[in-house]
Amino acid sequence: MHKKNVILFIVTLLLTQVSFAQGDIEEYDFSKLKFTNKIRFTERTKTVYIAGENYQIYYSGGVFIINEDRGSSGWGEHDIRWHFLDSTGAYLARNVVFKAPYRSFIPYFENGLAISKPGEGARIINKKNEIVASLEQYSSVSDSLRDGALLAIRSTKELCYVGVDGKVKWPHLIQQIDRIRDIGINMSIPPLRCDRRRYFELATRLYGYIDSNGKMIIKPQFLEARDFSEGLAAVKVNTDDGPKWGFIDVSGKFVIEPMFQHVPRDFNDGGAILTKNTGWKTFMDNNGNIFKGDFRMIDNIVDTCALMMTWDNLFYILNKGKWLKVPYNTDIPGLMYDLRSDRDANPPIRYTRSVILTGDYRPILISPYGSFSYLGGGFFWYSRGHDSDDIDVPSGVIRFDGERVFVFRTSEF
């Protein structure tokens, strides 16, 4: 794929009116890049001591959630400890122990509340691990709260929505569970997007959508469905050519007719990434206009900026009509891979696996040893990598500007 075709594609992709000339391409010169910030300690940086290297960290609802696996405690069980920290790295609760039905469970917080464990005997807790509501009357619950609601199964074999007070939220949506047909029912509760939440009807095995008050807005009629994004949702229906995906608006009307065999990506900044039957990628705007081209990878559409890979492994970024060519870097192979954005952060965050960028997509912070993993709220998990034994560069959490919030160190005893 040649440069001119790449430029033509992204111009069409982002619906810009910018004409392309060879001189409009600017190439990153890594030898001359000067990053404005460095990863650094400050007087506010805290130290979190853990028993070993087997731990994971998450961030939700203003809370850092640390899962520390201290190894087997006998009979195949693992000694799992949870620690909750605030946004400054100060402890809210530590050495929290509760038995979850599976090791991958994470108590994500929403508005200061989380589910202590899914399954039987669950509870809703606050940031200090204090019980807010008991869910013991339910034989199973979803693993997280979503917009003030969770899914639960009552002892009477009924599936229902439950509020943060532990009580049934919308009685008219209670569904009877068939023990045979509904084995392995998905207990994950979908998020509320565009005041629409996916709803699965057990009796028909079809999807519809309810609003924030539990009112059925779009009756169950879809074989599969995705969450709304930018006022559109991908849904799958039967057609004369077999099951196909299309897009509906918030009223349930098809605005892009079902024509896709593979599930499309959600719309972002007016565009959705498509996968062809051949495996190649292309792009569609929110009017259903599809660009006729094949690309090895279209990574993402972020804030009207596109990152894509051509057949010859070249990366290109478009921002405000300016083109940046990002050559493969042998020192940091994933330098510009996996471009993402968090508009809700203050300021909005743009980042890749190895670089944190400014609003105009100029790198301000680069990972010299390891990689970045975005946690949320403007915070990044920073890992020094397996190839670095520099004890002065411990793993931990940094802000977008490079300031260390806290670092992990192993306890001696």
| Stated pTM of the model | 0.80
Tell me which residue has tokens 């199964």.
Answer: 153
CB atoms within 10 A of CB 205: 11
Give the model's confidence band at 6: pLDDT under 50 very low, under 70 low, under 90 confident, else very high.
very low
**What pLDDT is stored for residue 364 in this prediction?**
72
Tokens describing residue 196: 């629409």
- pLDDT tens-digit profile of 253-307? 999 999 999 999 998 877 888 888 888 887 788 888 887 667 777 766 665 555 5
Name which residue leads in pLDDT, 164 or 76.
Answer: 164
Tokens describing residue 36: 């404005």
Closest-CA residue to 132 (of 106, 99, 162, 165)? 165
CA dist 41 and 102 (Å) reads 36
Mean pLDDT, residues 60-65? 94
Closest-CA residue to 357 (of 326, 333, 327, 328)? 326
- The beta-strand segments (E) located in 155-291 are 158-162, 175-176, 197-201, 206-210, 216-222, 224-225, 233-239, 242-248, 254-260, 271-275, 281-285
Give the single-character DSSP code of 43: T
Is residue 278 within 8 A of residue 289, CB to CB? The reply is: no
Secondary structure, 3-state, 153-177: EECCCEEEEECCCCCECCHHHCEEC
Long-range pairs of 254-260 with CB within 8 A, sequence gap ≥ 24: 255/286, 255/288, 256/232, 256/284, 256/286, 256/288, 257/288
Residue 156: what residue type?
T
CA dist 110 and 87 (Å) reads 14
Fold classification of 62-109+111-145+150-188 is Lipocalin (2.40.128)
Instruction: Enumerate residues 6+ apart whose C-beta is below 8 A from 57.
Output: 64, 65, 66, 67, 375, 381, 397
Ranges of CATH 2.40.128 domains, the chain: 62-109+111-145+150-188
Average pLDDT, the chain: 78
Rg (CA), the chain: 24
Mean pLDDT, residues 238-255? 96
CA dist 96 and 340 (Å) reads 33
Give the model's confidence band at 5: pLDDT under 50 very low, under 70 low, under 90 confident, else very high.
very low
- pLDDT tens-digit profile of 318-356? 454 455 666 555 444 445 556 677 877 777 777 877 778
CA dist 150 and 164 (Å) reads 8
Is residue 94 within 8 A of residue 87, CB to CB? The reply is: no
**What pLDDT is stored for residue 2 in this prediction?**
41
CA dist 223 and 404 (Å) reads 47
CB atoms within 10 A of CB 68: 20
**What pLDDT is stored for residue 159 in this prediction?**
94
**What pLDDT is stored for residue 268 in this prediction?**
81
Q: Which of 37-46, 80-89, 169-178 has the lowest mean pLDDT?
A: 37-46
